[in-house]
Amino acid sequence: MKLLEEVKLLQDIIKIYSPSGNEKKLSDFLLNSLKNQNFEVQQDREWNIISSIGSGAPYVLLTSHMDTVSGEIPFRVEANKIYGRGACDAKSPLAALLSAFVRFKNKKFKGTLIFAGVTGEEAPNSRGTLELMKKVKADFIFLGEPGSVDGITIGYKGRLLLKVLFKGKASHSSSEEENPVLKFIEFSNKVIGIHRGENLFESLSYSPTSIVAESESNVMPSECRATIDIRVPPGLSHEDILKEISKYLDGEIELVEGVDGVITSKNNILVKTLVKAIREHGLSPKYKRKTGSSDMNLLVRLTENIVTYGPGDSSLDHTDMECIDIEEYLKSIDILECAISEIIRITSS
């Protein structure tokens, strides 16, 4: 019966379309779901859902995000897989963490177990997690993101999200006036090759995602605006990178988001505990380092004892084929329950 309830929870969560900025319906659903099971729960001003059981140290935080990227996908169940927007990123990790949390309701343990469903992760600056960090203590953090049932994500690159403006002078395209588009190209050519490492995770990546320079075909534009997404490997400060590339910029720059990369040691207690739990469930653990960023980049400020884990194939993130295998989802709950129990036992001894 418990497994059926956990699958139904996942289905209900996926059915609720919750793109960034429109998470309240899902937030209300989780609020009522926890209340109906007699949990103490609060909904804050950012629509985060926070519930805790137990008391005192150690504080173990289980958290994932409720929001998705835009673009609704019709919900369906087919061949033991559930399809829908967020099925992979990150509603199955969210539901897995919540299900694991619920399993501890009637267990006796020393410490405090906290579940938090947060908002705004898919939008710049993760408004939900920043608000959550003002409210909770955390000695250990399990962050939910897709990485497969046997995957342990130990690292994420940092991010610089920038808006840049290059100015010129509207004139005939045959003139010698400064062309702002060429300024953007020159800037890009200088930045794109810096800080190259042995692989993508260890390298600075430079990706213009929007370029606007409107004019007639024979008129040089007066300005060129661009949005640039730069991913910064751990060990490099996003602030230092911003200072470095600003030297190459013949224009104006606006920082939209800036966060450093994060890496957790394979010897970290949470990582070792997950390794053990995964092996106990008949799987071979795999370490993963992701070239994007997540709330792990922020939550590490609360504690270095942090790891990311969750069911789902991350290659399906943000695609129209988002889905989750039901058996993988259920096994991930068992693994989380095992790992959390080990952490509480270790810290209580």
> What's the average pLDDT block by block, 10 residues per block, for the chain (349 residues)?
85 97 98 97 98 94 97 95 96 98 93 97 94 96 98 97 90 71 94 93 96 78 94 96 94 95 97 98 97 96 97 92 97 97 73
Shared domain for 253 and 268, answered yes or no, is no
Selecting among 6, 121, 313, 325, the annotated active-site residue is 121
Cβ contacts of 94 within 8 Å, gap of 6 or more: 13, 64, 65, 66, 117, 144
Decide which of 259, 281, 299 is a domain's last residue.
Answer: 259
Number of CB atoms found within 10 A of residue 78's CB: 8
Shared domain for 127 and 44, answered yes or no, is yes
Shared domain for 132 and 279, answered yes or no, is yes
Range of the domain at 251: 158-259
**121 a catalytic residue:** yes
CATH number for the domain harbouring residue 230: 3.30.70.360
3-class state of residue 229 by DSSP = strand
Q: How far apart are CA 51 and CA 40, in angstroms?
A: 6
Cβ contacts of 215 within 8 Å, gap of 6 or more: 170, 221, 222
Shared domain for 60 and 110, answered yes or no, is yes
CATH number for the domain harbouring residue 37: 3.40.630.10
The per-residue pLDDT for 173 is 61
Q: What is the 3-state secondary structure (H, E, C) of 36-66?
A: HCCCCEEECCCCCEEEEEEECCCEEEEEEEC
Shared domain for 116 and 176, answered yes or no, is no
Cβ contacts of 322 within 8 Å, gap of 6 or more: 73, 83, 84, 85, 86, 87, 88, 89, 316
Decide which of 259, 282, 315 is a domain's last residue.
Answer: 259
**Scanning the structure block, which residue is given the tokens 């203590």?**
137
Shared domain for 150 and 166, answered yes or no, is no
The per-residue pLDDT for 349 is 46
- Bridge pairing between strands 158-167 and 81-83: unpaired
Shared domain for 129 and 9, answered yes or no, is yes
**Scanning the structure block, which residue is given the tokens 């213009």?**
208
Shared domain for 171 and 208, answered yes or no, is yes
The per-residue pLDDT for 1 is 42
The answer to whether residues 147 and 282 touch, using CB atoms and an 8 Å cutoff, is: no
Shared domain for 137 and 26, answered yes or no, is yes
What the block records as the tokens of 181 is 């588009």
Decide which of 195, 229, 259 is a domain's last residue.
Answer: 259
Work out the widest C-alpha separation in the chain, in whole angstroms. Answer: 78
Shared domain for 26 and 85, answered yes or no, is yes
Shared domain for 150 and 162, answered yes or no, is no
Q: How far apart are CA 70 and CA 22, in angstroms?
A: 10
Q: What is the pTM of this model?
A: 0.92
Q: How far apart are CA 283 and CA 285, in angstroms?
A: 6
Number of structural domains in the chain: 2
The per-residue pLDDT for 239 is 97
**214 a catalytic residue:** no
The per-residue pLDDT for 303 is 97
Selecting among 6, 23, 67, 317, the annotated active-site residue is 67
Q: How far apart are CA 132 and CA 111, in angstroms?
A: 19
Q: Is the peptide bond before 221 cis (omega within 30 degrees of 0)?
A: no
Shared domain for 121 and 245, answered yes or no, is no
* DSSP H helices in the chain: 2-15, 24-36, 92-103, 127-132, 180-191, 238-246, 269-280, 296-299, 326-348
The per-residue pLDDT for 174 is 67
